[in-house]
Amino acid sequence: MRTIVPVIIAFLSGFVMVISFFFNPDRAFIGRIESEVLVWVTIVGGFTLLLGVVSITRVNWHAVQSKKEGWVYNLLTLLSIFVMAIPAILPSSWSPLLGRATGSIYDWLFFHVDYTMMATMFAMLAFYIASAAYRAFRARNPEATLLLITATLVMLWRIPMGEAFLRLFSDNLPWLFSDNLPDKINTYIMSGANVAVQRGILIGAALGAASMSLRIMLGIERTYMGKG
Amino acid sequence: MNGLAQFTALNRLSLDLTTGLQAVYSAVPEILKHLKIRFLLTTALAVVLDYQLVDAATSDSLFRVDRINALVTVVLFSIAILLYTKWAKQGKSLFVRKIAGLDAVEEAVGRATEMGRPVLFIPGIQEIDEIETIAGISILGRVAKITAQYDTPLVVPVRYPMVLAAGQEVVEQAYVEMGRRDSYNKDIVRFVAGEQFAFAATVNGMMMRDRPAANIYMGAFFAESLLLAETGNAAGSIQIAGTARPEQLPFFIAACDYTLMGEELYAASAYLSREPIMLGGLKGQDLMKVIIVALIIIGVILMTLGSGELYRSLFEAV
């Protein structure tokens, strides 16, 4: 029963979603069913949020209790959850600091703490890209050397400083610039070779996703339920 | 010819076509009474008739006739998968190429066991309605079985509560199946943050503090992919990643030991299970790929010859 019922639900949900794609939403209810189901997903998602709060509280509380390495961070996480959530839940009619309107505690914490920390994390990506690029572009073998040369050419022509650098040689290498050769090479790499590979991966991924969806709908694939 | 005359002519042509098709439509059941394709033909004719009527009246249709190409593709694809699944059930041997990243999963868990350190598994950062997340959860089931078998600690941070519920169910089932119900802990799968970069920061912290021996990333990843993979690399973990997002693949390739690209992620559960029925689905997918490659080659030839516009219009997505 624990296997058959989810398989039937998966089949019906998948089948209805596929069929609704081929019907006109203005003429048939089945055509609108996709958006209806997505609303249900949002509603169910809202209820499961409580599961998330319970999980994060339990994990961090256990870490604080057992004084696990870095338990201070767990304590900060717990404090953050409740300091953000409680004033946001309380009605703003009690105090302008409550609720989620501009000037509330929640609003201040979001824009001055949460938002800035997230921006910091995103900004750190630049350093991570530099270290990953160093590792990727090391000329260890012919393929890596080719990658290095290609990346250098593309980067030189894609940033203003690189373009200015290449133009320094325009007097010495007129043949290179007479027909805008660097631009043509760049366009060929990015819009030719690069796009072709990306589309190849996308076609494969789309077929893989469709195949997996079909396997789930037909009950062949049940590993997402921990079966098989 | 003025507009009214054009409309009348079109209407008459449509009426003739409709009458003709209706005649065929009524005759077909008699001719094909005992054939199984009767239902399919009836449906196809109904769609055609609907199309003709709509074309004449220029009003909206019950069916999205403009999506008929997608319907044909879905039907063809389904037939291919069902056919190979049937052959697999009958015991026909199916060859599936080696996927190094998936073969390395057991090796990675073995390494973690030897080192006495945990395995970190991230099923992407998208909701459960994303097929990549479902693929990640499927692989999680396999990984959990191996960790349960070796009694290796497993940590699964997630970004959405619905993924949390699904992940907990899958991991618990894996531990029960391996006879390790007592080793299962509800906090193996844990909700860490709902925000993308808060999630990345938490997981990075876990990597640097707990130093997992193996990090497995399977699912949908975005800008945090490199933040996670580079931190894992710095922590000295063996890393296996899989995503269907081409824009994130270079980051994983640069920072991980093994990377599953695109379709390999979706093939993972079938590959790891080695069940013939599931492998049948993969072979059906391959057949479809061969058909698509052939169609692309025909398209390239026709477009090169300058007469491929009609051919191209057949594949237009709406």
Query: Is the Cβ pair A52, B164 closer than 8 Å?
Result: yes
Longest dimension (CA), chain B: 86
Mark whether B132 and B182 lie in a shared domain: yes
Report, as an integer, the average pLDDT of A39-67. 91
Mark whether B195 and B282 lie in a shared domain: no
> Domain for residue B318, yes or no?
no
Query: Is the Cβ pair A209, B244 closer than 8 Å?
Result: yes
Predicted confidence (pLDDT) at residue B38 exceeds the cutoff of 80: no
> Domain for residue A128, yes or no?
no
Q: Name the residue range of residue A108's domain.
A: 91-123
Mark whether A144 and A154 lie in a shared domain: yes
> Domain for residue A171, yes or no?
yes
Q: For residue B2, report the phi and psi dihedrals to the nearest 5 degrees.
A: -80, 175
**B299 min Cα distance to partner chain A (Å):** 15
Instruction: Give the neighbor-by-neighbor strand order of the sheet with B214-218.
Output: B189-191, B154-158, B119-122, B214-218, B238-243, B258-261
| Paired tokens of B256 | 């991980």
Q: How many domains does chain B have?
A: 2
Predicted confidence (pLDDT) at residue B33 exceeds the cutoff of 50: no
Predicted confidence (pLDDT) at residue B53 exceeds the cutoff of 80: no
Confidence of residue A45 (pLDDT cuts 50, 70, 90): confident
Average pLDDT, chain B: 84
Report ipTM (2 d.p.): 0.88
The total of other beta-carbon atoms located within 10 Å of residue A65's CB is: 10
The percentage of residues in chain B with a pLDDT greater than 90, rounded to a whole number, is 65
Confidence of residue A228 (pLDDT cuts 50, 70, 90): low
Mark whether B159 and B209 lie in a shared domain: yes
Mark whether A115 and A153 lie in a shared domain: no
Mark whether B161 and B281 lie in a shared domain: no
The percentage of residues in chain B with a pLDDT greater than 70, rounded to a whole number, is 81
Mark whether A14 and A78 lie in a shared domain: yes
**A172 min Cα distance to partner chain B (Å):** 36
Q: How many domains does chain A have?
A: 3
Say what the pTM is.
Answer: 0.83
Mark whether A21 and A80 lie in a shared domain: yes
Dump pLDDT digits (tens) for A179-225: 777 778 888 888 999 999 999 999 999 999 999 998 898 888 888 88
> Domain for residue B212, yes or no?
yes
Q: Which residue has the higher pLDDT, A21 or B190?
A: B190
> Domain for residue A70, yes or no?
yes
> Domain for residue A50, yes or no?
yes
Q: Nearest by CB to B227, which of A31, A59, A128?
A: A128
Give pLDDT, residue B39: 45
Predicted confidence (pLDDT) at residue B97 exceeds the cutoff of 70: yes
Give pLDDT, residue A30: 79
Chain A residue at shortest CA distance from B277: A220
Binding-face residues of B in 72-111 toward A, CB within 8 A: 74, 77-78, 81-82, 85
Q: For residue B130, report the phi and psi dihedrals to the nearest 5 degrees.
A: -90, 130
Mark whether B82 and B116 lie in a shared domain: no
User: Between A and B, how many CB-CB pairs are < 8 A?
Assistant: 208
Query: Is the Cβ pair B190, A121 closer than 8 Å?
Result: no
Query: Is the Cβ pair A214, B250 closer than 8 Å?
Result: no
Mark whether A65 and A105 lie in a shared domain: no
Give pLDDT, residue A203: 92
B200 interfacial to chain A (CB closer than 8 Å) = yes
Burial bucket for residue A69 (CB in 10 Å: 0-12, 13-18, 19+): exposed
Mark whether B236 and B306 lie in a shared domain: no
Mark whether B267 and B283 lie in a shared domain: no
Mapped onto helix, strand or coil, the DSSP state of residue B147 is helix
Confidence of residue A16 (pLDDT cuts 50, 70, 90): confident
The end-to-end CA distance of chain A, in Å, is 15
Predicted confidence (pLDDT) at residue A159 exceeds the cutoff of 80: yes
A155 interfacial to chain B (CB closer than 8 Å) = no
Q: Name the residue range of residue B214's domain.
A: 100-273
CATH no. for residue B133? 3.40.50
Q: Nearest by CB to A23, which of B63, B134, B135?
A: B63
**B230 min Cα distance to partner chain A (Å):** 7
Confidence of residue B14 (pLDDT cuts 50, 70, 90): very low
> Domain for residue A225, yes or no?
yes
Mark whether A37 and A103 lie in a shared domain: no
A18 interfacial to chain B (CB closer than 8 Å) = yes
Mark whether A119 and A153 lie in a shared domain: no
Predicted confidence (pLDDT) at residue A17 exceeds the cutoff of 50: yes
Give pLDDT, residue B215: 98
